[in-house]
Amino acid sequence: MTMVEPPPLDPLTGDERLLGVDASVSDFWRFALPDATTNNVRGWLAEYLVWRATGVERPVRVEWDAFDVLWGNIRIEVKSSALVQRWAQRQPSTLAFSGLRGKLLDPETNTYAAESTYNADVYVLAVNLAGREQFKQLDIANWRFAVLSRHALEATGQSTLTWVRAQQLATAVVGYDELAAAIQEAAAR
């Protein structure tokens, strides 16, 4: 089967104008991504932090890839959770991470594998631990990262972990500044 490949695109800078509308890409971003606390955007921020920590050049997120970050030959999956959500809450959210296994897409046949598998070498489970009182959406000091080897995760057979269980299985639980070293350590196991 011949696949239809999307045309290559340069990443947008934000200054581009939408054709036929008096608006820029930055205007659209302000509409679609007004804060970093919504579930999707928080996940993308967590992926971006891993990209930055590993020093990968020109990170561009690939939607629906088998893993989120490729650092040398280390495949990294990133998941995120937070105590505070964008909606009113009676209590802080339970910290959990789902989708740790996934079905691989075969690009030749455009079909998914029958079985879900662990598709990364290292799993970074990122949490924003700030409560409502101290919450500052761009303060990276509020984030902690549980870094797990594929082997440790695979041994559980689980597709979802709580933050408590993630910490127990982790090679390390670190802040942003120690993240790259923790990923290397987990990959070496």
Has residue 123 been placed in a domain?
yes
- Widest Cα–Cα separation across the chain: 55
Q: Do the domain assignments include residue 30? A: yes
pLDDT at 92 over 90: no
What angle do the packed helices 179-188 and 39-54 form, to 10 degrees? 80
82 lies in a domain?
yes
Q: And the tokens for 149?
A: 């080897």
Residue 90 covered by a domain: yes
Residue 45, domain member (yes or no): yes
Does residue 15 lie within any of the structural domains? no
Q: Is residue 6 part of a domain?
A: no
Q: How confident is the model at residue 23 (pLDDT cuts 50, 70, 90)?
A: very high
Which secondary structure element, helix H or strand E, spans residue 143, and what is its range?
strand 143-149
Domain count, the chain: 1
Can you give the residue range of the structural domain that contains 104?
Answer: 25-188
**Cβ atoms 50, 60 nearer than 8 A:** no
Does residue 20 sit within a domain? no
Residues 95-144: tens digit of each pLDDT: 999 999 999 888 778 888 999 999 999 999 999 988 776 677 778 999 99
Residues 164-185 have a mean pLDDT of: 97
Considering the chain, what percentage of its residues have pLDDT values greater than 70? 95
| CA dist., res. 100 & res. 157, Å (int) | 10
Q: What count of residues does the chain have?
A: 189
Of the candidates 136, 133, 15, 144, which has an alpha carbon nearest to the alpha carbon of residue 79? 144
In this prediction the pTM is 0.90
